[in-house]
Amino acid sequence: MNPLLLDIPLQLETERLILRAPLQTGDGEIVYEAIRDSFYELKAWLSLFQEIPTVEETEIMLRNAHINFLKRESFRFLIFDKGGGKDLIGTASLHRIDWDIPKCEMGYWINTKYSGNGYMTEAVKELANFGLNHLAFKRIEIRCESRNFKSRFIPEKLSFILEGTLRNEDLSADGSKLTDTCIYSKIN
């Protein structure tokens, strides 16, 4: 089946969270505020956030994410408290999709002020279940820098298997040194 014909929900729910596709006007402002509030933590691990993007740049990034969602090339979700909080808790995505296998990689980041409450673990669990059960992916990978212990904790808690550590595999977020990458997977 052509992936464009897949029925993909624009919203997923957990006990405490709503994960929704970034498609509402103004999402750029909400995501910009979370990036600004979490900048120093994001800068340490993500090359994308070596500088704080403008609201306009953030809005463009989200509109491109929506286009990729519609094209079934990646599925980015914004994470909100089900209780109605307006602040963004974080984002999680299925990306680098290979429909021939089918498989994907998962990425995520959390607004620093919501860290330590289990929100991202809950969101990643839901997104992994969505990928494995709804999309029938045979493999989901989570890759993270070996020193990013907060990020590594999530796949470990969710029973992803650490397949290995690729030594000197990538550059640090700021591009200044070589880093090791841990690869976790869950298969169907």
Neighbours of 126 (CB within 10 A): 19
Global confidence as pTM: 0.95
Average pLDDT value over all residues in the chain: 96
Tallying the residues shown for the chain, one arrives at 188
Helix H or strand E segment including 41: helix 27-45
> CA 3 to CA 92: how far, in whole Å?
20
Q: What percent of the chain has pLDDT over 90?
A: 94
Instruction: Supply the DSSP symbol for 26.
Output: T
Q: 26 pLDDT band (50/70/90 cuts)?
A: confident
pLDDT for residue 158: 98
**Is residue 25 scored above 90 in pLDDT?**
no
